[in-house]
Structure 1
Amino acid sequence: MRDDFIEMLQRNSDHAESFQTTFDDVQDSQRPDVVTVCCSDSRVLQDHMWGNDEPGRVFTCGNIGNRVVQRTESGTAVSGDVLYPVEHTGTKTIVVVGHTGCGAVTATYDDLTDGVSEPAGITHCLELLKPFLESGVERLPDEVDRTDAINRLVEYNVDRQVEFLAESDDVPRDVDVIGVVYDFQDVYSGRRGDVHVINVNGETDVDALREEYPEVESRIERRWEY
C-alpha cells in the first residue's frame, strides 16, 4: 500500500470515531432530500461543498461531465444512479452540479473541434456528452478564448442535462430540477467554493430567477446568456 492510502485509513479512524451514533436512524433505510449529480473531479468535494456530514440527507452521484444519461438497448435514458432515489426513496429535488474548468467538457470540446484519442472507457463518456455540447460549440462567439469557451460550455452542459431530466417521462412533474456551477477558479463574482444557481426547472433567465427566489438572489448568476 502507498503511504497516501495508509494516511486515508488513518483519517477514516477519526471519521469513524465521530460517527458512532450518526447512522442510528438510517441503518435500514434512506429518504434523502436531494440527489446531486456532480462531476468526478478531485477538486469537487461533493458532500463537503454543502457542508453536509449527515448520512442519509444527500444522495450523491458522480461521473465525468455530471451526466444524467446512460445508453440502454432501447436508447438514451435517465441514468439509474439519478433515478433510483426519485423512484424509490421519495426524493423531490435533483441538482446537476457542473464546475469551472471541467476536464470532461474540455475533452469533449477538443473532440468536437479537433478530435482526440482516448481509451475506450473515456471515449464512451465523451460520446455521451457530445450530443449535449455540439450545438453549444456552434453557438460560441468567435472572439472568446479557450478558457472562456470551456466555462460557457460548462453552463451549457448543465442546462442540457437539466433539460433532459425535465423532459423525461421518468421524472415526475413535482420534482425540482436545478442546475448549478461550483466555482474554484474565480470565474463568478462570489468566493472560491461558492455554488452558483444557473437553472431552475428549465428557467435560465437570471432576472426572472432572482425575482422568483429573492432569498438566494445573490447566488443566482450566469456567465453566458445565449
Structure 2
Amino acid sequence: MDQTIVDLLKRNADHAEEFRDRFDDMQDSQRPAVVTVCCSDSRVLQDHMWENDEPGHVFTCANIGNRVSQRTDAGAVVSGDVLYPIVHTDTETAIVVGHTGCGAVTAAYDAITGDGASEPAGIEHCIGLLTPHLEAGVEALPTDVSRTEAINRLVEYNVDRQVAALVEIEEVPDSVDVVGVVYDFQDVYSERRGEVHVVNVDGETEVDVLRDTHSEIAARIERRWTY
C-alpha cells in the first residue's frame, strides 16, 4: 500500500479517537451555521482556516475557482451543493472564499487573453464556467498591471461575481448573509499569511461603506481593486 494511504489512515485513527463523542447530537441531522464555497486547492484549508473542529458547524463546498454556478440543459443555475444547506438546513450565512494566486482564475485569464493551454475536457469545462464572468474584469484591468497583480485583482472580481449570483437568485432568501472573502497566503494583503480578508458583503464592495456598516470587522475589510 502506498505510504500516503497508510499515513492518512493513521491520522484518521487519531481523528476518530478525538472526535468519537462529537457526533452524538448530530448523527441523524445537521444544522450548519454557514455554507462556504472554497476553491479546490490544497493550500486552502477549508475548515482549519476558521479553526473549526466542530462537526455540523460549517457546510463546505469546493471546486476550482470557487464557483457557485453549474451548467445544465436548461442553462446556468446556482449549484445544488451551495443551495442545499440554505434550502434544507436553515443555514443563513454563505461565504465565497477566493484565494490569492488562484490557478483557476489564472487559467481563465489566459483563456480570455489567448494564452491558454489545452486542458483535459473536465478542466476545460470548469474553466469555461469561469471565463464568461471574468471577461469584463479582464477588459477593465489597467494596461500596465503586472500578471501577478492582474490575477489577484481578478480573484476579487471573481468573488464579486459569485456573490452576485447568490444575492440575485430567488432561492436564496434576503435573510441570508452572503459574504465574499479572499484567503491570502502570498503576503498580498498583509504579512499575516492565512488570514481571510472581507471584500464583499451582500454585493457591496466599497471599502469605506463596508467598514462603516460593519465596524466590528473593519480591520478585516480590504480590497486590492476598485473597478
TM-score normalised by length of structure 1 = 0.99
Question: Any idea what the Cα deviations from partners look like across 1:192-213, whole Å, max 9, x if unmatched?
Answer: 0000000000000000101111
Q: Residues 56-71 of structure 1: matches in 2 within 5 Å?
A: 56-71=56-71
SS of residue matched to 2:35: strand
2-structure distance, mates of 1:89, 1:81? 12
SS in 2 for 1:5: helix
2:37 paired residue number: 37
Partner in structure 2 of residue 15 of structure 1: 15
Structure 2 match to 1:95:
95
* Residue aligning to 2:118: 117
1:192 is aligned to 193
Matching residue's letter, 2:98: G
- What is the CA deviation profile of residues 107-152 of structure 1, one whole-angstrom value per residue up to 9, with x for unaligned ones? 1111111232100000000110011111100000001111000000
**4+ runs deviating over 4 angstroms:** none
Q: What TM-score do you get using the length of structure 2 for normalisation?
A: 0.98
Distance in 2 (CA, whole Å) between partners of 1:156 and 1:2 is 40
CA positional deviation for 1:190:
5.0
1:51-200 maps to which residues of 2 (within 5 A)?
Answer: 51-114=51-114, 115-189=116-190, 191-200=192-201
Deviations 1:19-38 (A, max 9, x none): 11000011000000000000
Aligned positions, number = 226
**Partner amino acid, structure 1, of 2:165:** F
Cα root mean square deviation, aligned = 0.7
Q: Which amino acid aligns with 2:169?
A: S
1:170 is displaced (CA, Å) by 1.5
Unmatched tracts of structure 1, length 5 or more: none
Aligned residue number for residue 28 of structure 1: 28
Q: Calculate percent identity across the aligned residue pairs.
A: 70
In 2, the alpha carbon distance for the partners of 1:219 and 1:61 equals: 23
Asked whether the equivalents of residues 180 and 197 of structure 1 are also in contact (C-alpha less than 8 Å), the reply is yes
Shift of 1:169: 1.1
